[in-house]
Amino acid sequence: MQKNTQDLRQASRRPVAVRRRGASPEKTAQTRQTIVDAALAEFLEKGFAEATIENVSRRAGVAKGLIYRYFEAKEALFSAVVQQEIVRAHIDVDESKRGPGESVEAFLRRTLLASIRNIDKKSRADIARVVIAEGARFPALVEIYRRDVIDPLTEKIKRLAISARKSGEPVNDRLVKNPHLLLAPIWAGIVINKFLDKANPVDIGEMFEVQLDMIFSGERK
């Protein structure tokens, strides 16, 4: 009996481990969002080479070490920015989102054209500028942009072009083999506006609409 009493006294003196609750999913998502927004501002202001995790941490108001809990490197941060600012903007450009009886041409005007009209007002053109300007030095940027933006988008355009041909829409056959044709005005406009002639910018949305007109003009060459 005495031994049991001593054991109880000793147990009562032992420090009690305090179980700490981790951050809620909502708090985790909010922190990640704050970091990505800060990274976007950093990349657009300084470019990829001059951007630093330290500066991102200051912009976000979080510790540098916390950023590495979410993103293993600066490239991962850039990928997150691309996903947030560009990939999500093109989610609606999926054939499954076409309305009943909606033509492919009308669908592209409703979704992709609407997005491209505002490309210069958003960050998407500036992110592409970073890729163009620094891709040769940092091939990872090109790979991220190709994998996350270009390849999925051109594949969607190709599938839409095939559907348009099957349904009898007057779409140029070349779009099936060369889906990049539809995106060419975007890249031309970005290069002109960001590098070649900043003083006389072109209207990228208008250029894209003209391209749509020509592709869906009924010429079968």
Question: What integer pLDDT is reported at residue 9 of this predicted model?
Answer: 53
- pLDDT greater than 80 at residue 191: yes
Residues 6 or more apart in contact with residue 76 via CB below 8 angstroms: none
Query: According to the model, what pLDDT value does residue 89 have?
Result: 77
Q: Tell me if 62 sits within 8 A of 125, measured CB to CB.
A: no
Two structure tokens written together for 221: 């060459």
- Given a cut of 90, whether residue 73 has pLDDT beyond it is yes
The mean pLDDT value for 101-117 works out to 92
For residues 69 and 13, give the distance between their C-alpha atoms in angstroms, rounded to a whole number. 36
First to last CA, the chain: 100
pLDDT of the residue at 17: 47
| Cα separation values, 164 from 37, 48, 146, 186, Å | 38, 40, 25, 22
Give me the pLDDT at residue 100, please: 93
Please, are residues 157 and 179 in contact by the beta-carbon 8 Å criterion? yes
Helix (H) or strand (E) holding 118: none
pLDDT value of residue 55? 97
Cβ neighbors of 113 (< 8 A, separation 6 or more) are 205, 208, 209, 212
**What is the model's pLDDT at position 173?**
87
Contact predicate 82/145, CB 8 Å: yes
Q: How far apart are CA 111 and CA 114, in angstroms?
A: 5
Q: Mean pLDDT across the chain, nearest whole number?
A: 88
How much is the average pLDDT of 141-169?
A: 95
Q: What average pLDDT does this structure show over 35-63?
A: 97
With a cut of 70, say whether residue 2 has pLDDT above it: no
Average pLDDT (4-16) is 52
Identify the band that residue 217 occupies on the pLDDT scale cut at 50, 70 and 90.
confident
- Class of residue 151 by CB neighbours under 10 A (exposed 0-12, middle 13-18, buried 19+): exposed
- Transcribe 173-206 into DSSP letters: THHHH-THHHHHHHHHHHHIIIII-TTS---HHH
Is-contact 175 215, C-beta < 8 A?
Answer: yes
- Stretch among 25-29, 126-130, 193-197 having the lowest mean pLDDT: 25-29
pTM value is 0.83
